Amino acid sequence: MSRPETNAPLLEIADFSVTLHTPTVSVRPVDRVSYSVGAGEVLAIVGESGSGKTILNMAPLDLLPAGVDSDLEGAVRFQGRDLLRMTTGQLESVRGGEIGVVFQDPLSALNPVRKVGRQLTEGIERHLGLTPAQAQARAAELLTLVGLPDPQSRMQQYPHELSGGMRQRVGVAMGIAGEPKLLIADEPTTALDVTVQAQIVALLKDLQKRMSMAIVIITHDFGVVSGLADKVAVMYAGRLSELGGVREVLLDPAHPYTRGLLASVPSLSAPLDTPFEGLPGQPPNLARRIDGCAFAPRCSLARPDCSRDRPPLLSVPRSALGHLAACPVTVNQTV
Ligand SMILES: Nc1ncnc2c1ncn2[C@@H]1O[C@H](COP(=O)(O)OP(=O)(O)OP(=O)(O)O)[C@@H](O)[C@H]1O
Ligand SMILES: [Mg+2]
């Protein structure tokens, strides 16, 4: 007999917006975003620098940059409970426990004046209820899993004594230490060389299968997307421009922005002198209100009405269920 909650998504983001207030300006880096992630499912979030990927994922966990005031609207439900309505104490027990986090900047996750081992074992003791000796053994095991050689001596070191790549691997170990149901991984492989990148991706895939861990991974690397993800969300100027299964979005992109983003990925098979096709123009200023499609000023297919009304996410015809794009021009063309 199936239980009703097994049908509910693990994570459900509904009409979620974030406004950040600095002393001089207010910006809206997340603007009415909705999607869901099922248990054991992997969602990749892609988009240019500054499109709001980090803020979208960190704001609900109360992990925004220090000294920035914020307004959060909408709902972010994890196992049916809205993270935006939790007390600080409730959020603290979810973070590092059922939701693991790998930070884009591993230094921000690590306390500079405490040894690496202690930082790892603390979380393990707290969230898995292990004794200090068991936690110590588990921490060494985790560091081995993420490919850090000689874990016993690494655990005696301070974060600044490790290289950037080593710190990033410690960051991944900390993210998975509590055996989370959901791992939020913000560019977990960017500072690593390709071999280690492949190891980390394989590790995440293995954990996802063995523990049925869901993953939201922010990445600029389409190799990571196709190797790991089930679904992709494409962000542009704080909004979702396209969402769907990996195959549909990568092989049959519907939004002009996704097409541009994919065209800007250098192809291994292209001759070496092929010019690099970047996206022309700049992303918009998020401090200004954007009425129509945020991509319209850079879009070769834009029509005058694109700058008037914000396009809704529409089902892409003749594609798989759940493939959505916020572009009436291309979506209607394919009918
Ligand atoms: N500390 C801050 N103070 C003010 N505004 C900020 C701050 N951090 C981010 N923002 C605003 O939020 C927007 C989104 O930032 P975010 O870090 O989420 O982008 P991102 O998509 O993760 O980029 P990247 O790929 O470079 O990591 C930025 O363009 C900026 O306008
Ligand atoms: Mg980021």
The DSSP-derived string for 64-96 is PPTT-EEEEEEEEEETTEEGGGS-HHHHHHHBT
47 within domain boundaries: no
CA of 293 to the centre of ligand 1 (A): 20
Rounded CA-CA distance 309/292 in Å is 4
Q: Taking 50 as the threshold, does the pLDDT of residue 130 lie above it?
A: yes
Q: How far is the CA of 4 from the centre of ligand 2 (A)?
A: 35
18 Cβ below 6 A of ligand 1: no
pLDDT number for residue 190: 82
**What stretch of H or E contains 291?**
none
For 333, residues 6+ apart whose C-beta sits below 8 A from its C-beta are none
Residue 132 has pLDDT above 50, yes or no: yes
In sequence order, the 6+-apart residues with CB closer than 8 A to the CB of 315 are 321, 323, 324, 331
**What confidence score (pLDDT) does residue 307 get?**
92
Containing domain of residue 324, as a range? Answer: 235-265+288-335
Residues around the ion ligand 2 (C-beta < 5 A): 54, 104
Is residue 149 domain-resident? no
Q: Is residue 254 part of a domain?
A: yes
Residue type, 248: E
- Nearest atom in ligand 1 to the alpha carbon of residue 220 is 25
- Look at residue 321 and tell me if it is in a domain: yes
The length of the chain, given as a count of residues: 335
Is 218 contained in some domain?
Answer: no
275 pLDDT exceeds 70?
no
Q: Which pLDDT tens digit goes with each residue over 138-150?
A: 999 999 988 888 9
pLDDT of residue 189: 85
Q: Which ligand is in closest contact with the Cα of 58?
A: 1
- The answer to whether position 240 is within a domain reads yes
Residue 244 inside a domain? The answer is yes
Is 173 part of a structural domain of the chain?
Answer: no
Ligand 1, atom 7, residue with closest C-alpha: 65
Q: Sign of the CA dihedral 218, 221, 222, 226?
A: negative
Residue 116 has pLDDT above 60, yes or no: yes
Going by alpha carbons, the residue nearest to atom 8 of ligand 1 is: 65
pLDDT tens sequence across 205-237 = 988 998 889 999 999 889 899 999 999 999 999
How many domains, in total, are found in the chain?
A: 1
Is the CB of 238 inside a 6 Å radius of any atom of ligand 1? no
Q: How far is the CA of 30 from the centre of ligand 1 (A)?
A: 10
Amino acid at 265: V
Q: What are the two backbone dihedrals, phi and then psi, of residue 81, each rounded to the nearest 5 degrees?
A: -105, 130
